Amino acid sequence: MSTRERLTPEPPSWLGIPPFPEAAKAELGKAQQRKNLRHATATIRTKRAIRAAEVDNWEELRTAAAQIKDRVGRHLDHYLVQAEKAMTEAGITVHWARDGDEANRIVGEIAKAKGVDEVVKIKSMVTQETDLNEHLEEIGIAAWETDLAELIVQLGHDLPSHILVPAIHRNRSEEREIFTTEMGRYGTPAPEGLSDEPAELAAAARTHLREKFLRAKMAISGGNFIVAETGTLVIVESEGNGRMCLTLPETLVSVVGIEKILPTVEDLEVFLKLLPRSSTGERMNPYNSFWTGVTPGDGPQDLHVVLLDNGRTNVLADPEGRATLRCIRCSACLNICPVYERVGGHAYGSPYPGPIGAILGPQLRGLDEARDRALPYASTLCGACNEVCPVKIPFTDILVHLRHKVAEYKTSKHPTVEQGLMKGAGWVMSDGRHLALAQRASRTAGLLVKGRWLGPMPIPLAGRWLQARDVEAPPTETFRQWWKKNRGDK
């Protein structure tokens, strides 16, 4: 099979990406990407702020959303069984998948049974998570991404770097280049003389994909919400590629994480106010589709839903990390994150970047891999994400909690240098007398250096710090000594 020519552009593998600090260093070196990211994140977070400020009861909405999601998480078995029943009664075939491989296998088998050799896809985080496209490629089925940014990523032999705007790291001239060289290899080529005007690029994508939509027999989607009460699926999108996939082919398979449930139809009002404003910074995104099973004479007549765990129950099992499952994938935390803004998404080593990736990834996958142990530290704990999150995920609390789990994981194997330092610091800080002792040593250093500022020095751990920054020499008199001398009688 490896000798067979590929049906779709070959993407790089996430597995080739080193742990965050090293990957981030490489990403920081990409000047054009940094410019693209700075511009794009600044634009979108400004829009979000304006749209959130328009809503008088924004905080009330956030609280309600968090509560609804917590209710679902704490009673997930109840709601899933209810949703399964409602969907089945409405004519949907419901499948369950323990992990990504199982979900991919289910989708592949449906496609094989339908006899299709290609499928059209709506942008879906969950199928990125399971690497569904590569599984389909291996069994001889071409999966075409139809979201504009996903198309740019797919044709560019690239990886997504953002939840909402996966090609955020690219600018228009790079995108023009990708369309011009790649479109013709996989279908309708880009028009002659294509410019880098966004409207022209979007029109080229329309033409390239229209042919695929018109002939597609099967589509694959994710799902933003499943209403447990009615079995209604909801997808929120902008371009209409989603509507094409959800409406035109005969067969539609939706792969949905088990946490995507909402109890009732009415709960949608909370999330449909929060999501677009948080996500694209619009009052409402152009299109929302709601479907409740099969409608005779309208849309796909063969509907499947695959309910996927793939580590979500690990997240649920930790009461301190559980709030992570509230996430509705709006990406507001990415756009506000100063680390994400500089590094972009690839350094996080999975389709989930930014603050949500830093807390979700290690919980979904566990801490056995070095990259997952590095992710909780990929944050300054500045807390900007806490404030924009529409479902009030306490990111910084969860980051610290996961750091604790990493520290426990590492020290359970064998004592570490870091642990030694922390133990030492813990001893010094356990009593003022210890601290005074330590300060005496630093004061001696201060007296030795004499100069006011220190430049580059090969000091362990601080070496890289000092490559870029000067530091003031330690004081020659500590506050403790000053106090004794000047206020000591008190």
Asked if 400 touches other proteins (CB under 8 A), the answer is: yes
Asked if 198 touches other proteins (CB under 8 A), the answer is: yes
Asked if 346 touches other proteins (CB under 8 A), the answer is: no
Asked if 96 touches other proteins (CB under 8 A), the answer is: yes
- Opening angle at CA 230, ends 226 and 234, nearest 5: 35
CA 170 – CA 154 distance, rounded (Å)? 13
Smallest distance from the beta carbon of 6 to other proteins, in angstroms?
24
Among 425, 441, 445, 448, binds other proteins (CB under 8 A): 425
Asked if 87 touches other proteins (CB under 8 A), the answer is: no
Smallest distance from the beta carbon of 3 to other proteins, in angstroms?
34
208 contacts: CB under 8 Å, gap ≥ 6: 151, 179, 183, 187, 188, 189, 190
Smallest distance from the beta carbon of 360 to other proteins, in angstroms?
16
Among 384, 388, 389, 391, binds other proteins (CB under 8 A): 384
Residues 35-54 that bind other proteins (CB under 8 A): 36, 39-40, 43-44
Among 145, 239, 302, 372, binds other proteins (CB under 8 A): 239
Asked if 473 touches other proteins (CB under 8 A), the answer is: no
Asked if 116 touches other proteins (CB under 8 A), the answer is: no
CA 229 – CA 320 distance, rounded (Å)? 28
Asked if 429 touches other proteins (CB under 8 A), the answer is: yes
Asked if 59 touches other proteins (CB under 8 A), the answer is: no
Residues 133-192 that bind other proteins (CB under 8 A): 146-149, 152, 165, 167-168, 171-172, 175
Task: Considering the complex, state which of residue 124 and residue 289 has its C-beta at the smaller distance from other proteins.
Answer: 289
Select the span of 126-134, 136-144, 361-369, 461-469 touching other proteins (CB under 8 A): 461-469
Task: Considering the complex, state which of residue 222 and residue 257 has its C-beta at the smaller distance from other proteins.
Answer: 257
Smallest distance from the beta carbon of 304 to other proteins, in angstroms?
14
Asked if 209 touches other proteins (CB under 8 A), the answer is: yes
Asked if 85 touches other proteins (CB under 8 A), the answer is: no
Asked if 309 touches other proteins (CB under 8 A), the answer is: yes
Among 16, 115, 451, 479, binds other proteins (CB under 8 A): 479
Smallest distance from the beta carbon of 2 to other proteins, in angstroms?
30
Token code pair at residue 425:
């610091």
CA 454 – CA 438 distance, rounded (Å)? 20
Asked if 379 touches other proteins (CB under 8 A), the answer is: yes
Q: Are 470 and 454 in contact (CB under 8 A)?
A: yes
Tokens 């403790």, residue located: 480
Asked if 437 touches other proteins (CB under 8 A), the answer is: no
Residues 247-306 that bind other proteins (CB under 8 A): 247-248, 258, 263, 265-266, 268-270, 272-273, 276, 280, 282-293, 295, 297-299
Asked if 93 touches other proteins (CB under 8 A), the answer is: no
Among 17, 52, 80, 358, binds other proteins (CB under 8 A): 80
Task: Considering the complex, state which of residue 8 and residue 232 has its C-beta at the smaller distance from other proteins.
Answer: 232
CA 334 – CA 340 distance, rounded (Å)? 6
Asked if 75 touches other proteins (CB under 8 A), the answer is: yes
Task: Considering the complex, state which of residue 427 and residue 445 has its C-beta at the smaller distance from other proteins.
Answer: 427
Task: Considering the complex, state which of residue 136 and residue 167 has its C-beta at the smaller distance from other proteins.
Answer: 167
Asked if 21 touches other proteins (CB under 8 A), the answer is: yes
Asked if 128 touches other proteins (CB under 8 A), the answer is: no
